Structure 1
């Protein structure tokens, strides 16, 4: 998987600054948007009206919703699903077209989407870097003692390493949710390897779930 460089068409509003995807499988797409140029009227104009639960949400949340739905529509159009609108199931998980496995995430003016038509579990996450104090304060919640020791010998500061770990675990949990349909604790998976040359990481399940996700199973990830 390589970083997205193929540009997608942009609506003429100034709200969406860029939309790009790559041609790999799994596919990765990324969108950047400007909160200053968000307007509720865009949702109706683009045929992506805000759901009732977001009508009174803060502007940032409404903007994230619209930007993420537009990216989902743009990517699915590339795969032949014209005018696709992403909705949520009763458990709030996204409902993708039949045969598509995909995942969305957004943070600070950025939306990312990973998708495949292979029978894979796929999850994606994007995060702001934690501050040093946040990383220290949340370390025990996010990781075990062995992971903390491992992160402190990696060639980047602990706050950035902790952010990477958090994002990897969030991605894993999102990938497994469609299969498991049960919440996961941060300590139910552990980081055991990071390869910065290949931008790859491996997490091992520390808890036994439904087959095939038993304790000891290793899950490969990219960052």
Structure 2
């Protein structure tokens, strides 16, 4: 288990598409990434055509928010891959049948975004790699959807944690998304929220442990649990999974 450090932070021109950019590094793992804050109001559709790392047809008919999410996510992916391979060439990341990114053959990676942030992480040595970025939901939303995301035993565990419930449920939701992204290449199917269950929440060290369902353990060759780490970035949270070969 490890935590990302900011290798380089850039404050960019606020009149441009990206106002902040972080280079991320997970020490001693070979995992690196890029995170940007994007400005929806500065996006124009023609930008998709001008980016060598974007396939515009993938989001041609999408709403503006989805288009910029796609562009920002691919930008982060491209930057992370350039760092990984120490090159300035551009990388096109395709899209699979369930919307999952299609990475170069030697790479494991993951992309995520919230309302204002996009992030991508990559590695050549990871067994599982997944990241998710979410805006912290309101207390009203958390109370309305809690039973859709959390099982009774999970809600009981959350009730003992010293953070507002909407923060905790946002973390739980994001963590499960990170897990699903990480294991998708091995299972290749959409999962319900109840196939993993949180059994430890360490607020001091910013990680959670989850237990796989018996059915999922069989698919994953007997693996019983997985660790998810997290960090906060302004009004959003990022959770991530990294399991090395």
TM-score (norm 2): 0.83
Q: Report the counterpart of residue 47 of structure 1 in structure 2.
A: 52
Q: Report the counterpart of residue 17 of structure 1 in structure 2.
A: 19
- Using the TM superposition, give the Cα deviation of residue 92 of structure 1 relative to its aligned residue in structure 2, in angstroms: 2.2
Closer/same/farther in 2, CA of residues 75 and 28 from structure 1, 3 Å limit: closer
Q: Is the 8 A contact 1:16 1:33 kept in 2?
A: yes
Determine helix, strand or coil for the equivalent of 1:123. Answer: strand
Residues of 2 paired with 1:206 and 1:137: CA distance? 25
Determine helix, strand or coil for the equivalent of 1:99. Answer: coil
- Higher RCO (C-alpha 8 Å, min separation 6): 2
The gaps in structure 1 that reach 5 residues or longer are none
- Using the TM superposition, give the Cα deviation of residue 210 of structure 1 relative to its aligned residue in structure 2, in angstroms: 6.4
The gaps in structure 2 that reach 5 residues or longer are 231-245
Residues of 2 paired with 1:211 and 1:9: CA distance? 47
Q: Is the 8 A contact 1:205 1:215 kept in 2?
A: no
Q: Report the counterpart of residue 162 of structure 1 in structure 2.
A: 169
Instruction: Give 1:1-223 correspondences, 5 Å limit.
Output: 1-7=3-9, 14-24=16-26, 25=29, 26-80=31-85, 82-209=89-216, 211=218, 213=220, 217-223=224-230
Closer/same/farther in 2, CA of residues 134 and 12 from structure 1, 3 Å limit: closer
> Over aligned residues, Cα RMSD in angstroms?
2.3
TM-score (norm 1): 0.90
Closer/same/farther in 2, CA of residues 216 and 187 from structure 1, 3 Å limit: farther
Q: Is the 8 A contact 2:36 2:72 kept in 1?
A: yes
Structure whose residues are more often strand by fraction: 2
